[in-house]
Amino acid sequence: MKYLKNFCTCVVGSLVSVVAVAQQLSEVIYESPSEEFINLSLQTYNNKLRFGMQHNYYVNTDGSFVDNSGEAYATAEKRTSHNVLSRHAFIELLKIRFQEEIFSVMDRNLLTKRTQNMYDKELKSYTAQQQVLTLANTLSTKTQKRKFFCNDKQEDCASKFPENGYYSIPRDVLGWAGRGASEFQQLRAYRAFVKERFPAIQQWGNELHKENSIEGYFVGRIRLGEYDFENEGYWLNLDAFQNTDFLLRWSYFQPSNTAERILASPKGCQILLKLSPEEAEKLAENHQFLLMGFSVVVSLKGIENYRSNQLKTLFSLTSSKIQIFKDDGLTQKVSEIDINSMITKTRY
Amino acid sequence: MISKQYILVFTTLAFCFFFGCTVYGQNDNVLRYKAPNDNFMDLVIQSYQGLPRYGELYYRRGVTTPKTNKAYTALLELKFMKEIFADLNRSKLDMYNRSSEQAAINSATLQRHLLNLAGYVFSEEVLKEHFCDPNARVVKKPMGGRPVNCQFTNSAGERNGLGYWGGSVSNEFRQLRSYKYFLENFLEPLQNWADSFYQGGNTVAYNVSRTYIAEKYDFKNKGYWISLKVDGMGSMAPHAEFLAYTEGEKLLKGSGSNKVLLPIPPEKAKSYGLRERMSIFLVNKVNVLPKLKTSGKPYVRFEYELEGNSMEIYKDIQLTEKIGELNINELVTKY
């Protein structure tokens, strides 16, 4: 309860509430503006959104894996599917404010056909319609999907979109009106969605972190290299983070002072994690990876061009302390390094 | 032709004598570093606003002051190679042998470097005396040029590198004599001279890069979209790297295919006479931090970082006609 209170003071004004879940993994719920859309559930650390490497739901707090035949496994699967879709939806929503260029010329009446050579306006309209399709697929609840993405003349809509707690996979983008739908059905579905649902999504997207900056916590996973006996520690190679792609990558980091410039060195910064040989041996026996966490503020930089349609983000540090953990859940801290007193070298 | 050049050098020297400066000439800004003694030539490099100019240089035979860039760079490299001088074999020449041992590789590289430096920096008299074998067979140049002996400059008046110690292909006694004489008499003054540069291990300079106007004038955005690619240091240093830290610096380095807006009002754009694909020149103030790379064949890499956020853009390589200035942190890009 205390946690809940703390959190609410932090994120005043956002459409959020929070659930503290088991295993000390905390998530924040971004409530959808209407019941036609799904709520988003994103991972947090210390009440801040967690970017980069995400927590794996299949791992228990003690480091063991969830039994793959039990109830817990199904729960982990469901939560993973919700998290994956939520992250995707979050980014698609953040893009909306930068997409005025394409939405303003989008044909709301007819579907723009893709051809070999398209004029700029047609290409923008086509891109916008694809974006609407993606948003519709991502954000619609199962009930809505039955309406917009199911052809009940050919399919059993109840079994195609069962209410089983699983969320769809972002990659699976279904076409309007379902399998085998005629062009009349497709157009009806598209027009209806654009008219009835899309304005609410657009508004949701525009209001989400509308100041274009988000406080968060960037997590990078790093392989534990070889112990350095001379310097008594492990060298942590900052530009070799693995699987760090929720919203941020290490290369998006913008240094603002000398110490931060060392971290961002284009020659590849390595930080020494001091550990005695005894501690190191114990660590290496059970862990192949370490997780590094940075308190950051993300700035949304827009979409560089509508053809690639990618959201551009940069981030800077809000604290000079880097936390180092043993586990995905960021519960077991190994050390904390201050960048003003760290020992570094470059890779070349 | 030759006499004309002498007059130019003489007048400029006189100018410097009276005003005690290193920069002279109107369209021809150079820095002159006085040699410690007559055995060496003065070093002359181009400058911009009183600082060394690296990257794209302005050269026209007979118009610009002859430069000694190779000598300047080789002398700097000598300074930053100090770390491996312990490996220098002072009793014999390793440079014509192959070895897989790091110390021997270091020694051979140093000997090769000292020979190059000698060719670039010594006065004609010293070269004639110690790097020229009048009795040697005339060696044909690899590119089929005129067979010459004891000729140290090319047709543009720039120094060639030397091929052999003592100027002799086959006489190993003469080679070794020349090498030992060099170590005894010239190495120390050269090292001392080298130490007078880059005090503190770095220097601030201007790096000029050539790029081009990517598109016709953009009336909507009121400017030209230009392409960016800042890396290396042109002929100034064979191994150079621009260290890009921030987003703007990474854009400047030009790894992507981004274009950057150079705002110019339409009426000015017309008077500048700029066209699509035309070359333009970016001038960045940089902090140069040479580093010795020691694994394998050692070499000095001239790494540099931006000094400040401002970049000037010129139409001409002489850097006389400025067409704009950009802040690296506020670049407007498009794909």
| Per-residue pLDDT tens over the stretch A130-143 | 999 999 999 999 99
- In this structure, how many other beta carbons lie within 10 angstroms of the beta carbon of residue B140? 11
- Model confidence over B185-226: pLDDT tens digits? 999 999 999 999 999 999 999 999 999 999 999 999 999 999
Q: Chain A residues with CB inside 8 Å of B243's CB?
A: 265-267
* % residues pLDDT > 70 (chain B): 87
Interface test with A, best of B239, B241, B242, B247 (most A CBs within 10 A): B247
Model confidence at B22, in pLDDT bands (50, 70, 90)?
very low
CA dist B249 and B245 (Å) reads: 6
Which positions in chain B touch A255 (Cβ < 8 Å)?
A: 245-246
Predicted confidence band of residue B229 (pLDDT cuts 50, 70, 90):
confident
What single-letter amino acid sits at B263? P
Contact A155, A179 (CB under 8 A): yes
Question: What pLDDT does A283 receive?
Answer: 93
Q: Is residue A12 pLDDT above 80, yes or no?
A: no
Do the chains contact at A255 and B244, CB–CB below 8 Å? no
pLDDT bin (cut points 50, 70, 90) of residue A243 is low
Higher local confidence (pLDDT), B48 or B18 = B48
Q: Which pLDDT score, from 0 to 100, does residue A15 have?
A: 40
pLDDT score, position A84: 95
Task: Write the DSSP symbol of residue B137.
Answer: P
Inter-chain touch A266–B244, beta carbons under 8 Å: yes
Nearest CA in chain B to A258: B245
Of all residues in chain A, the percent with pLDDT exceeding 90 is 75
Angle at which helix B102-121 crosses helix B69-80, to 10 degrees, equals 150
pTM higher than 0.90 for the full model? no
> According to the model, what pLDDT value does residue B133 have?
80
Write down the pLDDT at residue B107. 94
Q: Given this model, what pLDDT does residue B144 score?
A: 54
Contacts of A254 in chain B (CB under 8 A): 246-247
Rounded mean pLDDT, A156-181: 92
CB pairs under 8 A between A and B: 24
Closest residue to A305, CB basis, from B243, B246, B335: B335
Q: Tens of pLDDT along A93-119?
A: 999 999 999 999 999 999 999 998 889
Query: Tens digits of per-residue pLDDT, A174-218?
Result: 999 998 999 999 999 999 999 999 999 999 999 999 999 999 999
Residue B236 has pLDDT above 90, yes or no: no
Confidence of residue B141 (pLDDT cuts 50, 70, 90): low
For residue A258, the model assigns a pLDDT of 93
pLDDT of residue A10: 37
Contact call for A308 and B243, based on CB within 8 A: no
Calculate the CA dihedral of residues B76, B77, B83, B87 and round it to 10 degrees.
-130
pLDDT recorded at residue B106: 94
d(CA A89, CA A95): 10
Answer yes or no: are the C-beta atoms of B255 and B76 closer than 8 Å: no
Angle between helix axes A120-139 and A198-207 (nearest 10 degrees) is: 90
Question: Could A304 and B246 be called an inter-chain contact, meaning their C-beta atoms sit closer than 8 Å?
Answer: no
Contacts of residue B293 in chain A, CB cutoff 8 Å? 348
Please give the distance of CA A321 from its chain centroid, rounded to a whole number: 23
Label residue A124 exposed, middle or buried (CB < 10 Å: 0-12, 13-18, 19+): buried
Inter-chain contact A254–B247, Cβ cutoff 8 Å?
Answer: yes
Summarize the confidence of residues B157-169 as an average pLDDT: 84
Whether residue A280 has pLDDT greater than 70: yes
Tell me, yes or no, if A341 comes closer than 8 A to chain B by beta carbon: no
Cα atoms in the Cβ-side hemisphere of radius 13 Å centred on A217: 22
Of the partner residues A266, A267, A304, the one whose CB lies closest to the CB of residue B335? A304
- The C-alpha atoms of residue A9 and residue A11 are separated, in whole angstroms, by 6
Which own/partner contact pairs does B321-324 have at CB distance under 8 Å and 24+ positions apart?
B321/B272, B323/B262, B323/B264, B323/B272, B323/B274, B323/B280, B324/B262, B324/B263, B324/B264
pLDDT of residue B325: 96
CA distance B262 to chain A (A): 17
User: How far from each other are the two terminal CA atoms of chain B, in whole angstroms?
Assistant: 50
Q: Which residues in chain A have Cβ-Cβ distances shorter than 8 Å to B334?
A: 304-305
Contact criterion met (CB < 8 Å) for B335 and A266: no
- Look up residue B59 and give its two tokens: 């050269």
Answer yes or no: is pLDDT of A2 > 80.
no
* Contact criterion met (CB < 8 Å) for A308 and B335: yes
Q: Is A9 helix (H, G, I), strand (E, B) or coil?
A: helix
Provide the pLDDT for residue B151.
80
Reported confidence tier of residue A11, pLDDT bands at 50, 70, 90: very low
> How confident is the model over A256-285, as a mean pLDDT?
94
